[in-house]
Amino acid sequence: MKLVVAIVRPEKANEVLEALFRSDVQGVTLSRVQGHGGETEQVETYRGTTVKMELHEKVRFDIGVSDHFVEPTVKAILAAARTGDVGDGKIFVLPVEKIFRIRTGEEDRAAVTPVQVVAAGKA
């Protein structure tokens, strides 16, 4: 099991989401974050005050997946989030010790398997 953490441009967030759904990745947590990477700074002026915006708006995806889903997840994000300019973001893949589904108490791989697949299996 892995946790895929992706930091992407806000204007690319919808495309990433769409690409993930197309790759059957359905469990996604999204948050708006600010960060600093290597991108050129944005200079803004308000009356006499000129500032460099060192922190840029980004969107962070947290996606818990079973091992064989890591590759399609990462591929989907790489393809959808890229513009080619500095500031496209990063993807981190982290090992995960345990996963629980709160509703059922299911653990690990069962906890990150989409619900309808389980339902179909029971039928």
Partner 1 sequence: MDTPTLVPADTVWMLVSTALVLLMTPALAFFYGGLVRSKNALNTMMMSVASLGFVGMAWALLGYSLAFAEGPAYVGGLSKALLAGVGLEPQGTIPHLLFMAYQGTFAIITAALVSGAIVERMRFGAYLAFITLWSLVVYAPVAHWVWGGGFLARMGALDFAGGTVVHINAATAAFVAAVVIGQRKDYARQAILPHNVPFTLLGGGLLWFGWFGFNAGSALAANGTAALAFVNTMLAPAGTLVVWTVLDLLRNGKATAVGAATGIVVGLVAITPAAGFIGPLPALVLGALAAFPSYYALVYRARTRLDDSLDVVAAHGLGGTVGALLTGVFASKNWNGTVEGLLHGNPGQLGIQAIAVVAAIAYSGIASYLLLKVIGLVTPLRVDKREEGLGLDKSQHGEEAYADDEGAILILQRTEADAPVGVPTLAAAAAEGGRS
Q: Which residues bind partner 1 (CB under 8 A)?
A: 9, 11-12, 14-15, 34, 36, 41-46, 49-56, 83, 85
Q: Please, what is the minimum distance in Å from the beta carbon of residue 120 to partner 1?
A: 30
Q: Please, what is the minimum distance in Å from the beta carbon of residue 42 to partner 1?
A: 6
Q: Please, what is the minimum distance in Å from the beta carbon of residue 25 to partner 1?
A: 19
| Comparison of 35 and 64: residue with beta carbon closer to partner 1 | 35
| Comparison of 88 and 106: residue with beta carbon closer to partner 1 | 88
| Comparison of 41 and 67: residue with beta carbon closer to partner 1 | 41
d(CA 60, CA 47) in angstroms, rounded, equals 33
- 90 and 58 in contact (C-beta within 8 Å)? no
d(CA 101, CA 113) in angstroms, rounded, equals 10
Which residue type is seen at 120? A
| Comparison of 85 and 97: residue with beta carbon closer to partner 1 | 85
d(CA 73, CA 65) in angstroms, rounded, equals 8
Alpha helices in 82-114 (DSSP H): 108-111
Helix (H, G, I), strand (E, B) or coil at 17: helix
